[in-house]
Structure 1
Amino acid sequence: MSPIGTVHFSSSTRTLQPKTPYRQSRDFSTIPRFLSFPISENIYLPRNSVSFLQTIHHVIDRKIIRVSKEVSVQQQLDDDGPVSVQLQSINSETLFDRIVAEAQQLQEPLIIVWTASWCRKCIYLKPKLEKLAANYYPRLRFYYVDVNTVPHKLVAHAGVTKMPTIQLWKDSKKQDEVIGGHKAFLVINEVRQMIENATTVSND
């Protein structure tokens, strides 16, 4: 551990007994070990003991902010990909057909989430699916369809009867699906398993 450094006291500040009560919200003994940093070689502090404590707190605050920023930058550098990926909207039958055809050409599966604006479970599940999508980005694309914005024949063609329904499409056909009527973490686990099964079959 690096030494804290030297602090030079004036004669009036060797015994810290400020006449004005100073708030005791900070306890230096609880500062984490990683924040034990060399302040400087020499710090000349004012005679007033309250000002002395304020100066110490100010120096430590500046160091804590600096360390916090460094940790934040390092976390960004360590991330291999996004934390979540926004689901892309399919709002027409033509766009649906084009996306499915492109996936077939690339020989890649895709995930289509069928939702409705009035479906609370859909709204709750969407951000969790976006986090799951980040785990497979960019090799697997996630889309969503609001059943209120597309023709009913498209919904019927996909065989959707309940919302939310999460489907895996490949080779222009629906291969598997998960109906998300139960708890969100169970739905996410089932969708993950569905994707892994499809990926295993593709690799074989």
Structure 2
Amino acid sequence: MSILAANPQILFTEVCKRDYQHHQSWSNSSCFSLQKTAGCFQFDCRNRSWKKISRRDLRVEAFWPDFSRPTVVEMEPINDCDHLDQILLRAKELSQPILIDWMASWCRKCIYLKPMMEKLAAEFDTKIKFYYVDVNKVPQALVKRGNITKMPTIQLWKDGEMKEEVIGGHKAWLVIEEVREMIKKFL
């Protein structure tokens, strides 16, 4: 969570409100927060005690980024049929599906979709590997092998063969949701 606030008091107040509303919604809560004029307090029902939360701790909680997971994973390019065969063989050995985004550098929807696909790749970082093919920079044999007629086309490959595809001729957020559902189906 990040809040932009000119005044640290506003930040402190907003985080305390968020914590209070979050914990108040639990029926059997183990703790909840309460803001008083002296600061923000947290009550632990197990120990039956109040704990004061300092403003510095709240600032760290609100602005410290989560480095445990990547936010974006760059997709790797596929250059030719031999490269695709190596990738498919490696994925088959690991029994892991791969996702290939067939795109073109002149396609506006492809350009808008690529950063969103890289964010989606971060979401499924260890479960599936994401690749892309720029159809103008590879041999046409590779494009024919993928049976590509429209761009962008996102295909899920498993066990060396194409299982399902999404053709992205509509809004990018809809395409991402369809791809997410397709991935969940094969994981």
- Report the TM-score when normalising by structure 2: 0.68
1:72 is the counterpart of 2:63: yes
Bigger proportion of residues as helix: 1
Q: One-letter code of the match for 2:97?
A: P
Q: One-letter code of the match for 2:113?
A: L
Specify which of 136, 155, 180 is matched with residue 167 of structure 1: 155
Give me the whole-angstrom Cα distance separating, in 2, the residues matched to 1:187 and 1:142: 15
What percentage of residue pairs aligned between the two structures are identical?
A: 47
Give me the whole-angstrom Cα distance separating, in 1, the residues matched to 2:79 and 2:56: 46
Give me the whole-angstrom Cα distance separating, in 1, the residues matched to 2:145 and 2:177: 26
Cα offset, 1:37, TM superposition: 9.2
Specify which of 94, 98, 110 is matched with residue 110 of structure 1: 98
1:152 is the counterpart of 2:140: yes
**2:163 partner SS:** strand
1:31 is the counterpart of 2:9: yes
CA deviation digits over 1:151-198, x for unaligned, max 9? 111111111111100000011100000000001111011101111111
Bigger proportion of residues as strand: 2
- Report the TM-score when normalising by structure 1: 0.63
Task: Output the aligned Cα RMSD.
Answer: 2.7
> Where in structure 2 are there 5+ consecutive unaligned residues?
1-5, 14-36, 40-54
Larger Rg: 1
Give me the whole-angstrom Cα distance separating, in 1, the residues matched to 2:151 and 2:70: 27
CA contact (8 A) 1:92 1:149 kept: no
Give me the whole-angstrom Cα distance separating, in 2, the residues matched to 1:124 and 1:174: 24
Compared with structure 1, are the counterparts of its residues 105 and 66 closer, same or farther at alpha carbon in structure 2 (3 Å cutoff)?
closer
**1:138 partner SS:** coil
